[in-house]
Structure 1
Amino acid sequence: MLKFNRILIGCLLVLPMWAMAQSAPPLTVVVVIDQLPLYLLDNNYDLFGDGGFKKLERDGVLYTECRYSHAVTETGPGHATISTGCKPVHHGIVANGWVDSTGKDIYCVGCPSVKLLTSTGIVDTVAAGCPDNLERDGLSDAWRATFGPDAKIFSMSVKDRAAITMGGRSANFSLWINWTNGHFQSSDFYGDRLPAWCATYNRNASAYFDKTWQLMRDPQTYARADGDTLWYEGGEKIGFGNSFPKSLRGNAADPDKKYIRNLLTSPLGNDYLYGLATTCLDSEQLGRDSIPDLLWVSFSCNDMCGHTFGPQSQEILDMMLRTDSLIADLLTRLETTLGRDNFWLALTADHGVCPACESSLVPRGMGGRFDFAAMEAALNDTLARKFTEGVVPEGGFFSSFGMTTISLHRRNLRDAGLDLGTVATATVDWLARQSGVAQAVVTMKAEDVAVIADDKLRAAIQNSYYPDRFGDLYLHPQPFWQTNEVAATHGSIHEYDVHVPLYLYGQPFGKSRNTAASDPMDLATSLGAAAGVRWESPRDGRARWNAP
């Protein structure tokens, strides 16, 4: 009887929260632009229309001093930080992938136990993704706990790691793209059948095959960008070309994965994802009843384009102009269908990007490119001479090597009878002498991180350090140094990688250009506070509603 009374009291405490008038509006939309440093907004602000980014700032609040505080500025940790309101040290997604202590490669949303879910059903032979590696509840989970089973929660992106970390464990569905056929898919973690509207929408995958990416404005608009064809751009490598116009079909006779790659490296890929989002809005009738719904959309094509051509390119400038138009269309659609007071919208980025070191955005004489393959080979030889009589162990001394985290090949080192700490120290000593390396530090244990002399670097790594996931070493590059594998990339703690916009648009958040120091993890915390959600544990982010 006592147990029954406790259950009854619990129900009386919980059920009214679903039945009473909510503080959240019928719909909340979170937009993430993959690879959007604040400098790209500032540099091109005068070219935007009145209904997109300018409207978000004019009728909402823009936090101009929003910076990530963690050490690995990649897609996985960025989206997890946005969606949970926590740092990687707490949510556990320290990078897109990592090597655990057994030497196993772990993908941040990889789940061998779940299966791929496509338009035709479950594919038993193909593993897919789920949020098992996410160690904190996210806004989606708190939303579900607060507003109940009838709240509709969807997340979608080109990338699985974006969609899954945003949707958490409680989304009705998290949807991402199949890079071979362009269909949106999921996993059986979320259900055994895709929503009918998603399966139907997948018929549009080849709709852009005969399309051409043309500049949307007159040529003079793009004079501020670098030239149309730059030697370090990567369009030729993927069969997309480095100059305009660009045919999405390339040299393919039929839609294939090369066409899909071209589509997703262009703003037309964002249009394709946006079409799925609007189909979801209409088919699920999001925001059309008294129970608050939540929609997450991450536009990843900006990142694909940025890596391929660089942030100083005409391609990225055109991508920015089209993204602005897309945001304007979304705001107009929401205001028309729901009304201005019946939705909130938040927008931020998962990371910024380092400009191509050869571009006009980099001060003369600064920057350079790492050849990590050559560096690893040279370092293997150096360590072999020092520790293994000149013979490099099969598989080398490292299981992962690059910017920013590096993992030792622990099994090889143990088999050779080597002390991991001694090899780690020798490695950072060698790295510190290489061109482009600002600092190299040992991060094998929390105690190693605690004694890093540089305050900023130590704090960033402490904010990211999760045992058995963070690398054994951390390479901090000099400004504007990056890999030679793509035109531009990200990952560091430099300003261009961590400084991103944060927009909050809705009645509780006010209207201003706010210069208070902030962090993208404030997004989930702010929306959660304004909506009155119940979190399982404290958040790292600060609630920014009706607050300075």
Structure 2
Amino acid sequence: MKGVWKAAVLFALPTLMAASSAWAQPPRPRLVVAIVVDQLSADLFEQYRDSFSAGLKRLSSQGVVFASGYQAHAATETCPGASTILTGMHPAHNGIIANSWIDDHARRADKMVYCAEDPDAPVAGDRGYRVSARNLLAKTLGDRLKAVDPASRVVAVAGKDRLAVLLGGQATDQLWFWSGTRFRTAADDGDPPSAVARANARARAAIAAPAPRTIPDSCRDHVDPQPLFPDAAMASSTPRPGDVRGFRASGMLDELTAGLAIDLAQEMKLGRGAATDILAIGLAATDYIGHATGAGSADMCVQMATLDRVIGELTDRLERMGTPFVLMLTADHGAPDAPERSRSHGNMAARRIGMQRVTRAINETIRAKLGVEAGARFISTDNASDIYLDPSATASRPVVAKIAKDALLALPEVEAVLTRDELVRAPKPTLPASQWSIADRAWASFYPTRSGDLVVLFKPYVTPMESPLPGSVAMHGSPWDYDRRIPILFWWPGAAPANPATEIQAVDIMPTLAAMVGLPLPAGATDGTCVALAQSGTWPCDPAR
């Protein structure tokens, strides 16, 4: 009998050890890896979750998964979304209210300000600008780590400059982004590191001689029965040699971005010093593909398989580095499908509206009501939500604002119009983000010196684009949950699989990571709070740990 018990214990020992290690608190990370997949909505993640077989399967089956987190704000674009993740601040407090905005007080003729530019630098032709984090008014996790210990290093690599800038912050040691033809940095002077030179050589080769594209059988059901967008790049077509737009709307961009990030991490020996290091990675191809062909396209199906593979290769290489790390993966925003495909599937609410036509018509309405000459401009906009009153208009601003608001509310596509005064007076929401009113969502995106005089919120599935264009058939940016809901995943070697019921926001990510690496945050430093990642208990949020 003793031999039987001994055999039973030995047989069960691996399972008992695995369970014990799964519940053990992991070592303090020396490296934080933050991955942001541009336009990876919670809907998209859930739709393809069962088909993942590589990296995303590992993260979603072995990590801590919040399948439906929130970018709580209304302006669900890349800049606002990216700005929340490693600052822990809503756009209302970090200043990044949109991808771009109008600043009539800018000290230059061009009053449009891009989120990732130096607003004081002169703008060159064709919107040439100086890449900078100056518009970000909050500190990132990397900024805070370096303030405590300058030995901490921050590396940000992304398929868009705005992703790299807003994840890295003010004090990046290495900042690299895809510029349209190559990976470059903000200053772009001197010889790049060898990892960048290799990535650019691979990019040049891929653009000059694109690899053939095919649609696997698993994605055949996503092929439109008839072409909805004949001019859009399709997964079944191989980009022409030299087609940089076709290259960026392919998984190859993500592959090179992730490869460059981990190459730099290895060359710089991130995570092997005494201080905690940050590696921020922005994967942009999902967004380029979503805009080009829509979330329901065969291209997106192919991209989800590619993304899964890219994350798998990245996690494998991270483990081989042999340093304690934590990986967080999330998104800057979601997106609906193209209106035409949505309608073909029965969503009759899906439709388009052209913002240029809207602003033109409202200016005409204001002129008619005020009895002023044709050609006078009273309102303008640089994005779908923010309406700015022209400072040169001689009419009373409250009168103009009232006429414009009434005209906007008369449009059947408009859900709500909020004035600057209403948003300035609005209190900070206290409910979970899933219960926020539409005004709460607009509050989280509103920064008084940058936002519009009026904030327009369209009804669900209204796309503020007159007609589909080559490379742009679908859009995001609404206050609705298909744009707000995002996956948020935490993973490290030996993590205990968990799917907590806790509601989480993007602003909760930074304080959670800060707790994991032992970085104390001052009171009021973030809009978010640390979220427990253990199946039970408060780890890593217990300050007495």
Q: Same fold (TM over 0.5)?
A: yes
Question: Conserved in 2, the CA contact under 8 Å of 1:137 and 1:535?
Answer: no
Flag the 1:455–1:386 CA change in 2: closer, same or farther, 3 A.
farther
1:101 CA displacement: 4.5
- Structure 1 match to 2:398: 421
Is 2:329 aligned against 1:347? yes
- Structure 2 match to 1:441: 418
The equivalences for 1:122-161 within 5 A come to: 127-146=129-148, 148-161=149-162
Letter of the structure 1 residue corresponding to residue 147 of structure 2: A
Letter of the structure 2 residue corresponding to residue 78 of structure 1: G
Question: Conserved in 1, the CA contact under 8 Å of 2:112 and 2:382?
Answer: no
- Structure 1 match to 2:16: none
Flag the 1:210–1:325 CA change in 2: closer, same or farther, 3 A.
same
1:367 CA displacement: 1.5
Greater shift in the superposed pair: 466-475 or 304-313: 466-475
Is 2:30 aligned against 1:30? no
**Counterpart Cα distance in 2 of 1:356 and 1:44:** 18
Letter of the structure 1 residue corresponding to residue 511 of structure 2: T
Quote the RMSD (CA, aligned, Å): 2.8
**Counterpart Cα distance in 2 of 1:447 and 1:323:** 41
Question: Conserved in 1, the CA contact under 8 Å of 2:80 and 2:99?
Answer: yes
Question: Conserved in 2, the CA contact under 8 Å of 1:267 and 1:322?
Answer: yes
**Counterpart Cα distance in 2 of 1:508 and 1:521:** 26
**Counterpart Cα distance in 1 of 2:357 and 2:128:** 35
- Structure 2 match to 1:62: 65
Letter of the structure 2 residue corresponding to residue 359 of structure 1: R
Greater shift in the superposed pair: 420-429 or 296-305: 420-429
1 or 2, which has the higher strand percentage? 1
Flag the 1:451–1:318 CA change in 2: closer, same or farther, 3 A.
closer
SS of the aligned residue for 2:330 comes to: strand
Flag the 1:473–1:114 CA change in 2: closer, same or farther, 3 A.
closer
- Count of residues in correspondence between the two structures: 490
- Structure 2 match to 1:539: 526
**Counterpart Cα distance in 2 of 1:326 and 1:462:** 36
Letter of the structure 2 residue corresponding to residue 543 of structure 1: C
**Counterpart Cα distance in 2 of 1:467 and 1:191:** 36
Is 2:114 aligned against 1:107? yes
**Counterpart Cα distance in 2 of 1:261 and 1:439:** 36
The equivalences for 1:190-205 within 5 A come to: 194-205=192-203
Question: Conserved in 2, the CA contact under 8 Å of 1:381 and 1:390?
Answer: no
Flag the 1:497–1:185 CA change in 2: closer, same or farther, 3 A.
same
Gaps of 5+ in 2: 1-25, 430-434, 540-545
Counterpart among 80, 83, 90 of residue 80 in structure 1: 83
1:159 CA displacement: 1.2
**Counterpart Cα distance in 2 of 1:216 and 1:365:** 29
1:401 CA displacement: 5.3
**Counterpart Cα distance in 1 of 2:114 and 2:426:** 24
1:61 CA displacement: 0.6
Counterpart among 236, 242, 259 of residue 244 in structure 1: 236
1:163 CA displacement: 0.4
Flag the 1:292–1:389 CA change in 2: closer, same or farther, 3 A.
closer
Question: Conserved in 1, the CA contact under 8 Å of 2:417 and 2:456?
Answer: yes
SS of the aligned residue for 1:207 comes to: helix
Letter of the structure 2 residue corresponding to residue 311 of structure 1: A
Tell me the alpha carbon deviations over residues 51-101 of structure 1, each in whole angstroms, 9 at most, x when there is no partner: 322211222111123112112011111111001011111111111111125
1:33 CA displacement: 0.3
- Structure 1 match to 2:163: 162
Question: Conserved in 2, the CA contact under 8 Å of 1:376 and 1:401?
Answer: no
SS of the aligned residue for 2:29 comes to: coil
Is 2:234 aligned against 1:230? no
**Counterpart Cα distance in 2 of 1:213 and 1:360:** 29
Question: Conserved in 2, the CA contact under 8 Å of 1:154 and 1:294?
Answer: yes
SS of the aligned residue for 1:32 comes to: strand
SS of the aligned residue for 1:156 comes to: strand
Question: Conserved in 2, the CA contact under 8 Å of 1:114 and 1:130?
Answer: no
Question: Conserved in 1, the CA contact under 8 Å of 2:104 and 2:391?
Answer: yes
- Structure 1 match to 2:438: 457
- Structure 2 match to 1:530: 516
Question: Conserved in 1, the CA contact under 8 Å of 2:156 and 2:175?
Answer: yes
1:408 CA displacement: 2.0
Flag the 1:77–1:115 CA change in 2: closer, same or farther, 3 A.
same
Tell me the alpha carbon deviations over residues 369-394 of structure 1, each in whole angstroms, 9 at most, x when there is no partner: 0122222222222111112435131x
Identity of aligned residues (%): 26
- Structure 2 match to 1:520: 506
SS of the aligned residue for 1:359 comes to: helix
SS of the aligned residue for 1:325 comes to: helix
Gaps of 5+ in 1: 1-21, 117-124, 236-240, 250-254
Letter of the structure 2 residue corresponding to residue 131 of structure 1: A
**Counterpart Cα distance in 2 of 1:332 and 1:232:** 38
Is 2:483 aligned against 1:497? yes
Q: TM-score, normalising length from structure 1? A: 0.83
Question: Conserved in 1, the CA contact under 8 Å of 2:30 and 2:517?
Answer: no
1:312 CA displacement: 0.4
Q: TM-score, normalising length from structure 2? A: 0.83
- Structure 1 match to 2:391: 410
Question: Conserved in 2, the CA contact under 8 Å of 1:442 and 1:449?
Answer: no
Tell me the alpha carbon deviations over residues 122-147 of structure 1, each in whole angstroms, 9 at most, x when there is no partner: xxx9752111111111111112123x
**Counterpart Cα distance in 2 of 1:224 and 1:44:** 13
Question: Conserved in 1, the CA contact under 8 Å of 2:161 and 2:179?
Answer: no
